[in-house]
Amino acid sequence: FRLALIQLQVSTIKSDNLQRACRMVKEASAKGAKVVALPECFNSPYGTHYFKEYAEKIPGETTQKLSEVAKECNVYLVGGSIPEEDGGKLYNTCTVFGPDGAMLTKHRKIHLFDINVPGKIQFKESETLSPGNTFSMFDTPYCRVGLGICYDMRFAELAQIYGQKGCQLLVYPGAFNLTTGPAHWELLQRGRALDNQVYVATASPARDENASYVAWGHSTVVNPW
């Protein structure tokens, strides 16, 4: 089957981001993709001060659009991630929709990105976000798929458990930055793939040098070899 990774520009205008994402899902489907993945934080700029402003309930505006486009294109859609508000807490959440438009699973980022590389980058998701605590998998006619978001990829045990549960593809929407990206983005994907003999796919936002958080980009697919 054909897998499409959508590396799109994310602006401060949510409606534009949603429109762009849906257009690109349709393009991918037209080129024969059966599973399509959007990047982490695709409907909102990435940054702790943005999460609350852009957060939505699930179901909500963004997930409604994802459901509709998955159904229209007859694809499995891994909806990157969006800031989710639930019970007064915020989560970094990935939803997945089947070809009939039904939500198949919802993954809340388990490992929050708290980092301090002196002189390079400091970022603390836990200032605003709460962690998820569930494994998230879904079945397709092609294979079973396991989900993680960005920093989740650094935790080998998560990939190992997915492998033991029969996943043959792991999808990590992610937004590594210009410090961690060149150092570890590809290395981690290749490590997870090789260790567990699975395919690994990552979808990143496009790089925007003017953003407050600059994503590394380089969306990738790695095979078990």
Summarised one tens digit per residue, pLDDT across range 173-194 is: 999 999 999 999 999 999 999 9
Eight-class DSSP state of 110: S
What gap in Å lies between CA 192 and CA 15, rounded to an integer? 35
- 61 is annotated as an active-site residue: no
Cβ atoms of 69 and 26 within 8 Å: the answer is: yes
Share of the chain above pLDDT 90, in %: 91
pLDDT computed for residue 48 by the predictor: 86
How many structural domains compose the chain?
A: 1
Predicted pLDDT of residue 176: 95
Q: Which of 14, 22, 40, 125 is catalytic?
A: 40
pLDDT bucket at 142, cuts 50 / 70 / 90: very high
pTM of this prediction exceeds 0.75:
yes
Query: Torsions phi, psi of 91, nearest 5?
Result: -130, 155
In degrees rounded to 5, what are phi and psi of residue 15?
A: -60, -35
Establish whether 31 is a catalytic residue. no
40 in active site = yes
Domain CATH number, residue 31: 3.60.110.10
Q: Which residue among 22, 73, 94, 150 is the active-site one? A: 150
User: Whole domain around residue 75: which residue ranges?
Assistant: 3-222
Going by pLDDT thresholds of 50, 70 and 90, the confidence category of residue 1 is: very high
